[in-house]
Amino acid sequence: MTKKVLIIGAVALGPKVACRLRRLDPDAEITLLDRDNLISYGGCGIPYYVGGDINDLEDLYSTSAHVLRDKLFFENCKGVHVRTEVEALSIDRKNKKVTVKNLLDNSEEQLEYDKLVLATGANPCRPPFPGTDLDNVFMLASLHEAERLKALMTRGEVGKAVVIGGGAIGVEICEAMQDLWGIETTLIEMEDQVLPTLMGKCIARVVKSHLEEKGVKVLIDEKVNQISTATTIDTLWVETSNTVIEADVVILATGVRPNTTLAAEAGLALGNFGGLSVDKRMRTSDPDIYAGGDCVELCHLISGENMLMSLGSLANRQGRIIATNIAGGNSHFDGTVGTFCMKVFDLGIGKAGLTFRQAKETGYDPVYAVISQSDHAHFYPHSELLFISLIADKKSRKILGVEAAGKHGDAVKARIDTVAVLLKHGVTVDDICNIETGYAPPYASAMDAVNNAGNALDNILAGRNFPIDSYDFIEQFRHGKTKVLDTRGTREAAPFIEKYPAQWLNIPQNELRLRIDEIPGDQLLYLICDTGPRSYETQVFLAAQGLNNTRNIQGGFAMVKMTDPTFI
C-alpha cells in the first residue's frame, strides 16, 4: 500500500524530508504544505539579501544550478507534490487527517496521512512594548518583509535605523544596513552584552567594539519602552529608559518562539521551553507524527538539558533523519552542542558548547583561557590574529565550550568546528592540547592556536598561569590603582609609558633577569606582551623568584586592543 506522507512547512526541514524520502521510497505519496507562496529558501541568507551581497531574492530559493525551487521544480524534478498558500488548521490524530484551509479562497478540506511531519518552524517574538505594529517596524520573518525593507532602502528612504535585539539576527542586520547602504544604525540590547545567549563576555566585547568601529551605535543594558510616531510624518521614535532615538525604520530582532499551536491543540507533548518534545528518532509523543527544526526542543549535549536551538544546519540534518525513519530505517539525532558561526563586518566569530555564564548556571565550576595567535604561521604573509576562548570544568577538566573571533572567517570556523565535533565525546583539556590538526605555514602554526588555547587552560588549571581577562584588566586599570609590567621592547612600550606614566613599567623580556630588582613586590602587577606567551613566561619566572603579585593579561595587548580600541 502506498504510504501517504504529509509535511507541514516547506522552508528547510520540510523539503529535506520530502526529497530524501522520495529517494528512499519511490512509491510514497509525499505532499508538502506551506502558508507562503515562496518555499524552500535559505532563510539565513536574508541579511545578505538585505545588505546587497545577494542581489536577487530568487537566489535564496534557487538550486546551485540556478533552478528555482518552486512548485513545478518539486513536482518535476523531485516527484514531490507541493501545495502553497495552504494553512493547516487542525490534526485529527485518531483518524489521521489534517484539516487545511486554502488561503486564496478560504475553502477547507481534509488531507489523510500515514505519517505526518511538523516542520512549522518558529515565529519571531513580538516584544511587549507599544508601537511594534507601526508602519516601517519590521520583523524580517519572511522573504516578503525582507523584500519590502530592501525596496525602502533602494529608494533611498532610509537614513536612520534602529535594530532592537543584539542576537545573531540583530547583529547581522546592523551590518546589512550600515555596510552597503550607509544607514546610521543603532543596535539596542537589553542584556549587558551583545549576543547574550551565544557568546561569553570576552568575544561579545570584541564584537561590540568591531560594530562600533564600523559605525554602528551599540547600546547595551538598555530597555526599549516604546516606539511611537507623530501622526503627520513617517519618522519613528524609539524611546528607551535613557534616551530617544529617531529612525526611519525599526527592526525587531528579539528572538523567536517555536510555532506549536497546531501541535499543542492536537495534544502533542511540549517541553519546558514551549517546543515540541521529540525522541532521538525525531518522533513526537505520537509515533506517527515526526517533528524537527525550529519547532522542537533538543537535548544540549553539554548541559544535558533540553533547549531551543534555531539553526538551519540542525534542521537539515534532522530532515534527513526523519526521512530515513519514515522509510523504515533507524536513524538518531542525539542532540546538539550549539555549534554556530557568523560574520560581523570583517570579523568571523563562532562558538560551540556553553558560555562561561551558561556553564555556571548548569552547575559546572568553569575556568577559561583566552589566547591570541596568528591563524597562519606568524612568518607567513597574510596572517591574521585569532582570538580563542576555551572553557573547561575545573575539577573534571572536561571541555565545556569554545568561542573564537578573527578576520579570516574560514580559519575561525576551522578552530571552532574542530573543538565542536569533539564536545559530545567528553574530551578534556589534555585532549585539546594534543588535538591533531593539519599544519602548513599558509594555514596554521606548528602548534596551532587551538592547541595553545588548551595549553593555556592547562597552565591555568595547574596554577602556573594566573590570568586576568582583557575586559577586567581594562576596568581595573582605568580605576588607576594598578600597574602594568610590559615585557615588550622599549619601542612598543614607549607610547604607553607616555600615556600612563604612573602606571606603566617596561622591562623587555631579555632584560628581566638583570633588572629583577626594579620590579615592585608590594602591589598587583598586570603583565602584558603582544599576545600572551612572554607575559606568561615572565609570570612563571617571577613566581620562581618569589614574586607572586602578578596577573597575566590573557591574549596580551592584541586582545586589549580588540576589547577596547581606545585603550591607546
Compute the least distance from the CB of residue 185 to its own copies, in Å: 19
Compute the least distance from the CB of residue 411 to its own copies, in Å: 4
Kindly indicate which of the ranges 207-215, 217-225, 407-415, 471-479 contains the residues binding its own copies, using the contact rule CB under 8 A.
407-415
User: In the Cβ-directed half-sphere of 129, how many Cα atoms lie within 13 Å?
Assistant: 17
Q: What type of residue is 264?
A: A
CA gap 485, 534 in Å, rounded = 11
Is 417 a residue that touches its own copies (CB under 8 A)?
Answer: yes
Q: Which is nearer to its own copies, 48 or 129 (CB)?
A: 48
Compute the least distance from the CB of residue 286 to its own copies, in Å: 24
Is 377 a residue that touches its own copies (CB under 8 A)?
Answer: yes
Compute the least distance from the CB of residue 83 to its own copies, in Å: 19
Helix, strand, coil fractions of the chain, as percent rounded to 5 = 30, 25, 45
Residue 449's nearest CA partner among 463, 468, 424, 432 is: 432
Site for its own copies in 19-38 (CB under 8 A): 19, 23-24, 26
Site string for its own copies, 494-533 (x = CB under 8 A): ---------------xxxxx---------------xxx--
Site for its own copies in 108-137 (CB under 8 A): none
Q: Which is nearer to its own copies, 193 or 451 (CB)?
A: 451
Q: Write out the three cell numbers for 63.
A: 538550486
Is 2 a residue that touches its own copies (CB under 8 A)?
Answer: no
Q: What type of residue is 7?
A: I
Residue 178 · residue 170 · CB < 8 Å:
no
Site for its own copies in 421-480 (CB under 8 A): 421-422, 424-425, 430, 433-444, 446-448, 451, 455, 464
Per-residue exposure over 461-498, b if at least 16 CB sit within 10 Å of its own CB, e if not:
beeebbbbbbbbbbeebeeeebbbbbbbeeeebeebbe
Q: Spell out the residues 6+ positions from residue 376 whose beta carbon is closer than 8 angstroms to its own.
A: 382, 383, 384, 411, 441, 442, 443, 444, 445
Q: Which is nearer to its own copies, 88 or 311 (CB)?
A: 311
Q: Around Cβ 349, how many Cβ atoms within 10 Å?
A: 28
Q: Which is nearer to its own copies, 213 or 410 (CB)?
A: 410
**Cell 518583509 found at:** 145
Q: Write out the three cell numbers for 270.
A: 511540549
Q: Which is nearer to its own copies, 274 or 489 (CB)?
A: 489
Compute the least distance from the CB of residue 528 to its own copies, in Å: 12
Q: Which is nearer to its own copies, 54 or 103 (CB)?
A: 54
Q: Write out the three cell numbers for 132.
A: 511594534
Compute the least distance from the CB of residue 236 to its own copies, in Å: 29
Alpha helices for 434-532 (secondary structure H): 449-461, 470-478, 490-499
Number of H helices, E strands in the chain: 16, 30
Compute the least distance from the CB of residue 525 to its own copies, in Å: 18
Q: Spell out the residues 6+ positions from residue 434 whose beta carbon is closer than 8 angstroms to its own.
A: 451, 454
Site string for its own copies, 47-86 (x = CB under 8 A): -x----xx----xx-xxxx-x----xx--xxxx-------
Q: Which is nearer to its own copies, 90 or 197 (CB)?
A: 197
Q: Which is nearer to its own copies, 273 or 439 (CB)?
A: 439
**Helix (H/G/I), strand (E/B), else coil: 320:** helix
Compute the least distance from the CB of residue 417 to its own copies, in Å: 4
Site for its own copies in 380-399 (CB under 8 A): 380-381
User: Which secondary-structure segment (H or E) carries 490?
Assistant: helix 490-499
Compute the least distance from the CB of residue 323 to its own copies, in Å: 11
Site for its own copies in 300-359 (CB under 8 A): 311-317, 320-321, 331, 333-334, 336-337, 339-343, 348, 350-352
CA gap 513, 421 in Å, rounded = 44
Q: Which is nearer to its own copies, 117 or 444 (CB)?
A: 444
